Structure formats: C-alpha cells, structure tokens
Amino acid sequence: MATSEAERLLRIARRDLRMARRLLDLEVEEASWGWALQQTFEKTLKAWLHPLGVKPPHSHDISRLLVLLEQTGVDIRRSRARAGSPTFSSPAPPSPTSARAGSSMTLS
C-alpha cells in the first residue's frame, strides 16, 4: 500500500513540476509558479516518507516533513547541500519499488 501511495504522490509531483515549468513566463506572477514548486516539493517529500514506513501528515508544512525525514535517519543537511540538483541523496530508497540504501530519488 505504501508503495502505491508513494508512486501516486510522485506522479502528482511530476505533474506539478510540469505545471511550474510552464508558468516560468515573465508575465506569470511569481506566486503561481512558486505554489506549483511548493506542491512539487511537498509531494516528493511525502513520497520519500512512505517507503521509510512513515505515513505523512495531512500538512503543507515543508519543515515538518523535513523533520520527519531527519527522524528516520535521512541526512537533511547533505540533501540541502545538493539542492541545486533535482536528485536528493539519502539512506531512503530511490523509488517506492526499490530499497537500496544510499541511493537517490529523482523526480524529473
């Protein structure tokens, strides 16, 4: 069940990312693409929690989701250092269907 929910969240995150990319027009308000990127990040973090055995809260609080990841052993500082990349390294599995430690989860 957690695997299918994580996959569903990643599909939604990909859709939100596509929307954010389309909104990167100079005539579009920052709040519009900012909202889409926030949604992308939120869904990605929630998908990351599922294979770790954590049911994400019904919350839009990114900080809370990051704390939950830290509590499961994900090195948030290391992930933040790579923020320029769409890949986040952690002990979390790279996808809901793979459980190799030390791998990466890619959203693109």
Instruction: Profile the chain (108 residues) by mean pLDDT over runs of 10 residues.
Output: 85 95 88 92 95 92 94 80 48 40 46
Which residue pairs, CB below 8 angstroms and at least 24 apart, start in 16-20?
A: 16/40, 16/43, 17/107, 17/108
CA atoms in the 13 A half-sphere facing the CB of 47: 27
Give the global pTM: 0.68
Q: SS in 3 state form for 23-83? A: CCCCCCCHHHHHHHHHHHHHHHHHHHHHHHCCCCCCCCCHHHHHHHHHHCCCCHHHHHHCC
Per-domain residue ranges of the chain: 2-106
